[in-house]
Chain A
Amino acid sequence: MSLPEEEKRRILESPPKGTWALMLIVAAGMAAAWLFLYYGVFIPRGAVQ
């Protein structure tokens, strides 16, 4: 599909909003997973007996 030059220029100059959104989702997911492992798995196991 051939885009008009103006539209192509607009796309190239636009900030990558979708990428920012994906990065935020991934970062939030990782933080949540880390917190779950720490508080949900590691801490409840307690000290070595």
Chain B
Amino acid sequence: MNDHQSRRLALWNWTVAFAAFLFASFLGFYQVVERSGLFDFLESPKGYFASVSTHGVLMAYVLTTFFIMGFGYLTATTSLKRPLWQPGLAWAGFFVSLIGTVLAAIPLLTGKASVLYTFYPPIQAHALFYIGAALLVVGSWVWCAIMVVMAVQWHRDNPGRTLPLAMYATVANALLWLWTSAGVALEVVFQLIPWALGWNDTLDPGLARTLFAWTLHPIVYFWLIPAYIALYCFVPREAGGYLFSEEMAKFAFLGLLIFSLPIGFHHLYVDPEQGAGWKLWHGVGTFLVAVPTLVTGFTVLASMEIAGRLNGGKGLFGWIGTLPWRNPMVLAAILALLMLILGGFGGIVNASYALNTMIHNTAWVPGHFHLIFAGTTVILYFAIAYHLWPKITGRKLVSNTLALIQLWTWFVGMTLLSTPWHVLGLLGQPRRISGVTYNSLLTLAWQPYELFMIMGGAVLLGSAVLFGVILWRTWKNPEPETDTGIAYAEPIHPPEGLPAWVENIKTWNLVILVLMLISFGWPIAQFFFLKTYESLPWGY
């Protein structure tokens, strides 16, 4: 089948994604050194906040969006076994996102958009930053549309058949992103851009925070779903076995799509603009969304257990030793699951109202999201790249051993970085600080942890550079890759007896619409009915 276009799209989307990642990795190392307060000559709040804003935008929005788009084009064409729908449109989406990225980078790099990667007024960025970010999202909506259309067309041409799992998850992610990004899009278009352009001199930050909370949590699952696709669709096969249950996998993806959306208020637990009842409702949903992740952990581990036993493993845990640890996909899955356990625990603490008050706005929070995102998610992005980069470039992976070293060093570096970060949060260190220049018994107690974090940052930077070197040398490798087909794990039993609504995109959207109206309807509408004391909701 001719899927040349999807491979070229994947190649160039990933080139942008990984270039952004590499640049952001250098910034990350600078930040961990600067904020330690141990090096006076580096102290620069202005430089730090410009750097951390660029680092956050590049890692959280640019790496992820371009990676996910490229991966989606590959999964759509290879799992559905049909050519890409409207490749010209896909390229247009790519360039719109790229132009948006460049536009946003200008104020970021010149210190005019040092607003972190959260869109919280009253800190204000140059209008170009918001316009660029909006274009990045608009370009990604083109990808969403293509994924949805391809799934609908496939259903039309294959009545009664169920979507291949990889595409099922991809289209769920596309819908998730459309729903997720709507919140921040409303905030940016109706509040932030008019405000940054000087058309309005005021806005309601409570409403802005509510709209961003709509986006802020499900976006994590938008980043995470490609990693889960690798866990379900590549890992069992690479480990030498089968997927334990495709039905459970589909329920997990559907659960992530539906239940990750109406839960963002756990980010606003200490905010005054939303009532306790709404926070409780979103808090319950936050615990509920842990279920699909638990299902994923179980199904993937069970798939690996089967593979380990087929490889000769005996006893309760003997199968772990017979897994192919030298396979980058399998190794990354094991390391990702380990980090998911620790990061997942941090998430449960964040979701617990009382404990949240203890760690809210402390260093614990960036420690947590680095472990989940830069740990679990990104290490599987690496593994997907090692698996598919040779297939899309047509060049053999330059060194399996180097890939394994890179994955191990990433794991070690992330552990060294994020563990003391959590501890610093418990010791009371605030997040979003550019340095610790004052001396007291409290801040002196932070220093050993800062040193460990610097070591972790150094290991991570080395690992990131190694990743770039491996991909670059693979691209230029004269030895061709002979196996350019993309194969997915087979389930032990073909999926049977799934209710029709599990495959029905309209039903998914209807359920989400109802849940979103319940969860965000009044919390947003209230801003138009309550007196806001000189803060006008939209600024008009």
Task: List A residues at the B interface (Cβ < 8 Å).
Answer: 1, 3, 8, 11-12, 14, 16-19, 21-23, 26, 29-30, 33-34, 37-38, 41-42, 45
Q: Can you identify 18 A-B contacts, CB atoms within 8 angstroms?
A: A1-B312, A8-B310, A11-B310, A12-B242, A12-B492, A14-B309, A16-B305, A16-B306, A17-B316, A18-B305, A18-B320, A19-B298, A19-B302, A21-B316, A22-B301, A30-B344, A30-B348, A41-B358
Check B354 against A42 for contact (C-beta < 8 Å): yes
Which residue of chain A is the closest to B302 with respect to CB atoms? A16
Q: Are A34 and B316 in contact (CB under 8 A)?
A: no
- A18 is contacted by which of B317, B426, B492 (Cβ under 8 Å)? B317
Which residues of B have CB within 8 Å of A30? 341, 344-345, 348
Q: Name the one of A3, A26, A38 contacting B354, with C-beta atoms under 8 angstroms.
A: A38
Residues in B with CB closer than 8 Å to A42 are 354-355, 358
Question: Within residues 319 to 346 of chain B, which ones have a CB less than 8 A from any CB in chain A?
Answer: 319-320, 341, 344-345
A11 touches B306 (CB 8 A): yes
B141 within 8 A of A: no
Q: Are B349 and A34 in contact, with the CB atoms below 8 A?
A: yes
Q: Collect the chain A residues with CB atoms within 8 Å of residue B297's CB.
A: 23, 26
Q: With a CB–CB cut-off of 8 A, which chain A residues contact B305?
A: 16, 18-19
- B187–chain A nearest beta-carbon distance, Å: 32
CB neighbours (8 Å) of B358 from chain A are 37, 41-42, 45
Residues in A with CB closer than 8 Å to B309 are 11, 14
A12 to B309, CA, bound (A): 9
In the complex, chain B residues 328-385 whose Cβ is within 8 Å of any chain A Cβ: 341, 344-345, 348-349, 352, 354-355, 358
Tell me the minimal C-beta distance from A24 to chain B in angstroms. 11
B311 in the interface (beta carbon within 8 A): yes
Most A C-beta atoms less than 10 A away, residue of B301, B312, B317: B301
Cα–Cα, bound, A17→B298 (Å): 11
Residues of A within 8 A of B244 (CB): 16
CA distance A38 to B309 in the complex (A): 40
From B312, B317, B320, B355, contact of A37 by CB (8 A): B355
| Residue contact B316 to A16, C-beta cutoff 8 Å | no
A12 / chain B contacts, CB cutoff of 8 Å? 242, 306, 492
Interface residues on chain B, number (Cβ under 8 Å): 28
**B298 engages A37 (CB within 8 Å):** no
In the complex, the answer to whether B316 meets A38 with C-beta atoms within 8 Å is: no
Give me the 6 closest cross-chain CB pairs, A-B, nearest first. Answer: A16-B302, A19-B301, A19-B302, A11-B309, A16-B305, A18-B305
Q: Which residue of A lies closest to B244 (CB)?
A: A16
User: Given A12-B492, A37-B355, A21 and B345 touching (CB < 8 A)?
Assistant: no
What separation, in Å, do the CA atoms of A21 and B320 have in the docked complex? 13
User: How many angstroms from the CA of A30 to the CA of B349 in the assembled complex?
Assistant: 10
Residues of B within 8 A of A18 (CB): 301, 305, 316-317, 319-320
Q: Which residues of chain B from 242 to 278 have any CB-CB distance to chain A below 8 Å in the complex?
A: 242, 244
16 extra A-B contacts, CB within 8 A, seeds A11-B310, A29-B341, A38-B355: A3-B310, A12-B242, A12-B492, A17-B316, A18-B305, A18-B320, A21-B317, A23-B297, A30-B344, A30-B345, A33-B345, A34-B345, A41-B426, A42-B354, A42-B355, A42-B358
Of all chain B residues, the one with the shortest Cβ separation from A16 is B302
Residues of A near B492 (CB, < 8 A) are 12
Q: Which residue of B lies closest to A21 (CB)?
A: B316
A-side contacts of B301, CB under 8 Å: 16, 18-19, 22-23
A18 to B306 alpha-carbon distance, docked (Å): 10
Asked if A34 and B348 sit within 8 Å, CB to CB, the answer is yes
Of A1, A22, A29, A30, most buried by chain B (CB within 10 Å of CB) is A22
Q: How far is the CB of A18 from chain B (nearest CB, A)?
A: 5
Q: Distance in Å from the Cβ of B296 to the closest Cβ of chain A?
A: 12
Q: Tell me the complex Cα distance, A42–B316, Å.
A: 37
- The residue of chain A having its C-beta at the shortest distance from the C-beta of B349 within the complex is A37
Shortest distance between the CB of A19 and any CB in chain B (Å): 4
Residues of B within 8 A of A45 (CB): 358
B291 vs chain A, min Cβ distance (A) = 13
A21 to B260, CA, bound (A): 28
